[in-house]
Amino acid sequence: MQTQKPQKIDLNGDYPCPCRRRGRLTPIALTDAFGCNRCQQIFVVQDSGHTIEQLSTNYPYKRAWRWNGHQWMVVNPSLGKGYVPLTLLITFALVFLLLLTTLSAPVGSQVAFRVVAALVLSVMLVSMLWLACRR
């Protein structure tokens, strides 16, 4: 019998891995987590046993799945996707404006110098922030 209703995840159960490498999830002793024997990912059971969440360093957002008794269903795959670029854009705008207003240009230089300097500095700062977020 197959249902589409999310089922509670049994920590002693035998589940396939949500990755597409036909891995199996094996319970990690003394934790609420599963490990995959193929992709080496770790999935933590969340939401009082109804969701597994990928412990990932490769994505700026977390991926989660629910078990419908037959297969894993991705939970809100788009959630958070547009979040990081938006945050970076806002940070960029703020840093740029801040630098533009605080940066003192050398005597005799033009306003264009300040704009370019502020732009370069804010791009550097935001790139560093972005790299830090991706880790």
Report how far residue 61's alpha carbon sits from residue 34's, in angstroms, rounded to the nearest whole number.
19
Report how far residue 106's alpha carbon sits from residue 113's, in angstroms, rounded to the nearest whole number.
9
CB 106 within 8 A of CB 117: no
Report how far residue 37's alpha carbon sits from residue 22's, in angstroms, rounded to the nearest whole number.
9
Q: Which is nearer to Zn ion, 54 or 122 (CB)?
A: 54
Give the three-class secondary structure for 36.
Answer: strand
Q: Which is nearer to Zn ion, 53 or 84 (CB)?
A: 53
Q: Which is nearer to Zn ion, 5 or 20 (CB)?
A: 20
Furthest-apart CA atoms within the chain: distance in Å: 80
DSSP 10: P
Q: Which is nearer to Zn ion, 23 or 92 (CB)?
A: 23
Query: In the complex, what is the shortest distance from the CB of residue 116 to Zn ion, in angstroms, rounded to a whole number?
Result: 48
Positions touching Zn ion (CB under 5 A) are 17, 19, 23, 36, 38-39
